Amino acid sequence: MEMDLKLSVDEILEKGCGYFHEFKFQQDELQQIICFIEEQWLNRIKQKSKEHWQQFSEIGIKRYHELAHLLDHGSTWAKEARMLPKNIVAKIRSMSLIKKIEAEYGSIIIVDEEKIGYEEIDWRLVRPNQPGDVGPFHADSWFLELGHGVAPPENMKAIKVWVALCCEPSLNGLKVVPNSQKKKWRYHGEFRHSFIKPKIDEDEDGLPSILLNTQPGDAVLFHERLLHAGALNRGRYTRVSMEFMIFVKK
């Protein structure tokens, strides 16, 4: 009798490389999500730049960087401006990706990290060749250790979900350090963007990181202690991604 050597998602996250990227949204779901985000993106631009929003509307979110100089990028896209509204989160909750995750783990909680009153899903913009649009390598567990975020209930644990929406494979996306969830890494907290954030005390250039080959719609589930970072965007278009933290049963 042959043994089934296929590892579960949880075994891969805990004992394997620390990340899993075989789940994805269906193409029609992907297009819906991009439409939801593009609508929120344009509404925000209308608030900040009434004289220019039509120009942004004409080029679309993937070409946002071509007109980004017309806005104060940092203040326009603070995290609170990139949180999806409750009704959109509910729609994403009913899509195939969540069903796949719950088939592995049972019922999940999408974490309200910023205490907005409902399950929180955020999106990000990364412009081409803008190092300031991506942060240093870090583990998500460090934020909680520094006093920011929400601890899971006693019988649950945290997993991060990152989704590529508008991306150019091999030119932008998510970098990870395989197996790094198994080791303790040095870091300290520093005040950035209104609260204490972690800064790694390791040589980032010396980390054995890889850029994941993600297609639009691909999801990456990873351990809360896995080292990861957004990659510098070397593509032609603005990278758009989505992310959320989940609590799953241990």
Q: pLDDT at residue 229 above 80?
A: yes
pLDDT (0 to 100) of residue 244 = 99
Confidence of residue 3 (pLDDT cuts 50, 70, 90): very low
Q: How many residues does the chain have?
A: 250
Q: What pLDDT is stored for residue 2 in this prediction?
A: 41
Domain assignment present for residue 58? The answer is yes
Tokens 């005390």 belong to 201
At 4, is the pLDDT very low, low, confident or very high (cuts 50, 70, 90)?
Answer: very low
Residue 3 domain-assigned (yes or no): no
Domain boundaries, position 121: 10-249
Return the pLDDT at 5. 55
Residue 155 lies in a domain: yes
* % of the chain residues with pLDDT over 90: 94
pLDDT band at 197 (very low <50, low <70, confident <90, very high): very high
- pLDDT value at position 193? 72
Tens-place pLDDT, residues 122-145 = 999 999 999 999 999 999 999 999
Handedness of CA 181, 233, 47, 59 (dihedral sign): negative
**Domain membership flag for residue 243:** yes
- What's the pLDDT at 171? 98
Residue 195: predicted pLDDT = 84
- For residue 178, what is the domain's CATH number? 2.60.120.620
Give the DSSP per-residue string, the chain.
-----PPPHHHHHHHSSSEE---B--HHHHHHHHHHHHHHHHHHHHHH-TTTHHHHHHH-GGGGGGTGGGS-HHHHT-GGGGBPPHHHHHHHHTSHHHHHHHHHHSS-EE--TT--SS---EEEEE-TT-GGGS---B-THHHHHTT-S-PPPTTEEEEEEEEEEE--TTTSSEEE-TTGGGS---EEEEEETTEEEEEE-S-GGGS--EE--PPTTBEEEEETT--EEEPP--SSS-EEEEEEEEEEE-
If one counts the domains in the chain, the total is 1
Q: What is the mean pLDDT of the chain?
A: 96
Domain assignment present for 2? no
- Assigned domain for 35 exists: yes
CA–CA separation, 142 vs 229, rounded Å?
A: 13
Tell me, yes or no, whether 4 lies in a domain.
no
